[in-house]
Amino acid sequence: MSADVIDGTAVANQILSDAAVRSTRFAEVVGRKPCLATVLVGDDPASHTYVRMKTNRCATVGLDSRAHRLPETATTGDVVALVAKLSTDDTVDGILVQHPMPHQVDERQIFETITPTKDVDGVTGASFAAMALGDKGFASCTPAGIMHLLDAYGVDPAGQRAVVVGRSPILGKPIGMLLLARDATVTYCHSRTVDLANMVSEADLVVAAVGRPELIKGNWIKPGAVVIDAGYNPGNIGDVEYTAAAHRARLITPVPGGVGPTTIAVLLAQTVEAAESAHVVE
């Protein structure tokens, strides 16, 4: 068996195309573009790269992007003050706080300062509750992107045994909630799970989101399973041993080019949605 490769870029382009149409309509009705404000603290090179990529994408979809940068020495209070100001700014529709942050900054406190109606990255407790309870709200972008990939390739989670390897509050935990809402039977695992290989080998759907290069071995994959690798490690290596897994899986995401493109696409689409909701654009 040789897995079909899930093309995340193609799926992302569809999301972005729809967002561009809606963004244009919003600008025509409201008189300004939907606006995403980004907050970056410190000098982490990867974070600067990610913010620049998102800024460039905003331009292609017709969004206004406003970058706010604070120094490495910024305190929790400094960042809270900035985010609180953006939360009350009527010309800002979505807020993205780039993480990780410097060690002295309370990241969770920063996230909770974002008003839920502008939490287009899905990082607040309110957004997690909405995902868990099936209420209206914004999903965490990577988990939402994964759901787009599954839908695009006709993967119905209902009745499937899904194993999520990872438990972060913005990836592992919420993707499990979204899969559960679609009637999958979900098991959470992590790097300290006893007999992880056996857990993975029984899964119809594997979501790798632990941040450990090639932690999940290819020979663990159940023949015919769907493998979603949301890990990204130095050297363009995912959390799954890709080549070996591709010989057993039915569908698999590459790294890069799988989950990553849909994450940014969902962020921009949710920014447009936030703008539409705030201004009642139909």
109 in catalytic set: no
Angle between helices 8-30 and 259-279 (to 10 degrees): 20
Rounded CA gap, 116 and 225, in Å? 36
Q: Are 204 and 177 in contact (CB under 8 A)?
A: no
> Helix, strand, coil proportions of the chain in percent (round to 5)?
45, 15, 40
Catalytic residue among 54, 118, 173, 222, which? Answer: 54
SS3 218: helix
Q: Are 153 and 6 in contact (CB under 8 A)?
A: yes
Closest CA to 238 of 261, 209, 265, 280: 209
Closest CA to 96 of 125, 68, 73, 72: 68
CB atoms within 10 A of CB 203: 24
The span from the first CA to the last CA of the chain, in angstroms, equals 46
| Token pair recorded at residue 88 | 């009350």
- Sheet architecture: strand order including 205-208: 4-5, 251-252, 226-229, 205-208, 161-165, 185-189
98 in catalytic set: yes
Catalytic residue among 33, 64, 98, 204, which? Answer: 98
Catalytic residue among 119, 121, 204, 229, which? Answer: 121
18 in catalytic set: no
Alpha helices in the chain (DSSP H): 8-30, 45-61, 76-87, 107-113, 125-133, 141-152, 172-181, 196-201, 242-246, 259-279
Rounded CA gap, 39 and 128, in Å? 21
Rounded CA gap, 227 and 242, in Å? 9
Active centre residues (catalytic): 54, 98, 121
